[in-house]
Amino acid sequence: MTRYRIADDVAWVSQEDLDVDEVPTAYLTRVPGGPPILLEGSGCVVWLALAEGGTLEEVTATAASMSDSTVEDISADVAVLVDQLVAIRVVEEH
């Protein structure tokens, strides 16, 4: 079963680290030479779920619990986003 995790060369910070109470937002980059990337709203929720690692089903379940959504409602969107994050190599499959 494929598991997902944040890539080893990624630095990231979320609005929680910054002590600001705004829309859930994560800022990330591949160090040292990557561009800055923004994940806002539900994208940030998926990112925080990915920070805990797991299979796509586990990541989706974590994201659902963080956002008061159902797994059924969000699973397709989460799958698309995770694919995109893998494609830009900020998330690794293992």
Partner 1 sequence: MSLPGGWHDERMTGEVERTAPIAARVHLAHAVVQKLADDRGIDLLHLKGPAVLPGLRPEGRHSSDVDVLVRPSHLSRLVEALESIGWEQRTDFTTGSVFAHAANWWHDDWGWVDVHVSWPGVTLDPEQAFDVLGREGQVRAIAHRDCPVPGLIAQRLILVLHSARSGGAVDVDLAWQQAPTADQDAVRRLAGELGAEVALAAGIGELELHRGAPTYALWHHFLHGGSRWDEWRARLAAAQGARAKAHLLTSAMRVNRDHLRMELGRPPTPQEVRSRQLLRVRRAATELAERVRRP
In angstroms, rounded to a whole number, what is the distance separating the alpha carbons of residues 88 and 15?
A: 22
Strands 91-93, 54-55: pairing kind:
unpaired
Q: Could you tell me if 91 and 49 are in contact, meaning their C-beta atoms sit under 8 angstroms apart?
A: no
One residue of 37, 56, 61, 86 binding partner 1 per CB under 8 A: 37
- Residues 38-57 contacting partner 1, CB under 8 A: 38-43
Question: Minimal distance in Å, beta carbon 32 to partner 1?
Answer: 4
Bridge pairing between strands 10-14 and 37-40 = unpaired
Q: Which of 17, 52, 57, 93 binds partner 1 (CB under 8 A)?
A: 17
What span, in angstroms and rounded, lies between the C-alpha atoms of 8 and 65?
26
Q: Is 11 or 57 the residue whose CB approaches partner 1 more closely?
A: 11
Question: Does 66 sit near partner 1 (CB under 8 A)?
Answer: no
Binding site for partner 1 (CB under 8 A): 6, 9-13, 17-20, 27-29, 31-33, 35-43, 69, 73-74, 76-78, 80-81, 84
